[in-house]
Structure 1
Amino acid sequence: MPVRERRAAVRPALVLDRTAARPRAVVLLLHGGRSESERPPTRLNLPGVRMRPFTRAVLRATEGQDVVVGRVRYRYRGWNGGRADAARDARRALDELEQLVGPVPVVLVGHSMGGRAALAAAANEQVTGVVGLAPWCPPEDPVDHLAGRRVVLLHSDHDRVTDPRESVALAARARAAGAEACAVLLPGGDHAMVRRAGVWHRLATASVTALLGLGPFPPEVADAFRRTAGEGSTGETTDPARHV
């Protein structure tokens, strides 16, 4: 194994932005990446930069609440097929987290590839909620492990990198599997979350605090949950996504 890969393999997957003496909950953020790449992320990695405003917003919103906030550090930029490297790193970060803070509830927030990794890592029993930002949701990804979790997927209806229809479909499949899940579509946004940035930050942060039990869901997300609450066991609905 090359030296660079050996170093990546032993580096912690968990990076903490704030600790707490007596943690009541944890928020972990996962940035995006590529479908295929075995190169390690750089310090100025653009997908990581995109998540910084969300990290700052979560830190502000949970100030004084004994909420630990951190990030997942990837070994590689890519998902890399069946290896699912980003999901493996997310699971490593959760294992490291448990050693540090014990069994406390965890909310995962992931963008694009990070959203896919967050959804996969939600099989960990500590994870109680997931917020996916323009998540990559291939139809073959399993959802049974999301039973009992709450999942909020936010997606631009003009996204040309990841498909918003797949977020809507995954939310429906997750509901059929026993999750409380919804998809909210943002008209006119983009995959990088630059257009309508204020809306992205507001919905994501308020969804996180709601999943932590620190406040209500934003009206758009609460409405999306209400619209899906009366579905049958198949999780089917005529209007499964809420536009805002």
Structure 2
Amino acid sequence: MAVVPYVLDRLHDTSDPRCAVLFLHGGQQNNLEPVEKKHASWWRINAMAKRVGAFDGTTVTYVIRFGARGWNDPSAPSPVGDARAALAEIRENHPGLPIVLVGHSMGGRTACRVADEKGVIGVVALAPWLPEGEPIAGVADRDVRIIHGTRDRWTSAPLSKVWAERARSVASSVEWTSLRGVGHFMFRRVSTWNGFVTDSVAEIRAR
């Protein structure tokens, strides 16, 4: 199957940006099919970015659409390469601007992997896929905020909490929040998910 390039969309802009936020969508463990706008993983994070991405009016907001739907090769995960390329593009567009990553599910895992990129100051991970043994080096000297539903059946809240505890040894700060009775796809308590993103980005920027 031919490799499809990622797509980077700019949703919110400002004449005097003080921060950039990159939203990263979820995916599957193995799937080489290209991501399309009809796929729930993409439109879910895109809808969130449209709702909350304006923040305080000083933020430029981007959403990435990965080239492939899956994580795929563990030694060279598909979304990680795409995210690093997208961050290089954002830095070229906005030299010196601090960047916060907001990722859901596989996008949360990707964000934690690429947070070591120049300019990134923090990660907001929503129901992140952080399996046992997932590296923590990417969030060294970064601020990390995680929220996970207790009824998630797709990714593990206990494992993301374990990862968060491990990450405290290298990160500038880590906070893990439990969302009782909520599953993976952010369909319930939408305002809580959105509020968590808004508050976390503001907190990370202020540190």
TM-score tier by shorter-chain length is: over 0.9
**Counterpart pick for 2:65 among 73, 85, 97:** 73
SS of the equivalent of 2:53 reads helix
Cα shift at 1:120: 0.5
Question: TM-score w.r.t. structure 2 length?
Answer: 0.93
Amino acid corresponding to residue 133 of structure 1 in structure 2: L
Gaps of 5+ in 2: none
Identity of aligned residues (%): 33
> 5 Å matches for 1:56-71?
56-63=50-57, 65=58, 67-71=59-63
1:14 and 1:97 in contact (8 A); partners too: no
Which residue is 1:153 aligned to? 146
**Counterpart pick for 2:128 among 102, 118, 135:** 135
**Bigger fraction of residues in helix:** 1
**Counterpart pick for 2:108 among 115, 126, 133:** 115
> 5 Å matches for 1:219-230?
none
Q: Which moved more, 1:118-127 or 1:197-206?
A: 197-206
Which residue is 2:98 aligned to? 105
Number of residue-to-residue matches in the alignment: 206
**Counterpart pick for 2:45 among 41, 45, 51:** 51
Q: Which protein shows a greater Rg?
A: 1
Note the aligned Cα RMSD (angstroms): 1.7
Cα shift at 1:21: 3.2
Amino acid corresponding to residue 205 of structure 1 in structure 2: T
Cα shift at 1:13: 4.1
Deviations 1:153-209 (A, max 9, x none): 100011110000111111111101243101101001110011222211111221112
Amino acid corresponding to residue 156 of structure 1 in structure 2: G
Gaps of 5+ in 1: 217-244
d(CA) in 1 for partners of 2:83, 2:53? 20
d(CA) in 1 for partners of 2:145, 2:68? 26
d(CA) in 2 for partners of 1:123, 1:139? 20
Q: Aligned pair 1:176/2:169, yes or no?
A: yes
SS of the equivalent of 1:61 reads coil
2:150 and 2:179 in contact (8 A); partners too: yes
Q: Which moved more, 1:198-207 or 1:153-162?
A: 198-207
Cα shift at 1:89: 0.8
Deviations 1:39-63 (A, max 9, x none): 0011211111111332123234232
Amino acid corresponding to residue 101 of structure 1 in structure 2: H
Question: TM-score w.r.t. structure 1 length?
Answer: 0.79
Deviations 1:10-44 (A, max 9, x none): xx542211233342210000010111000001121
Cα shift at 1:146: 1.4
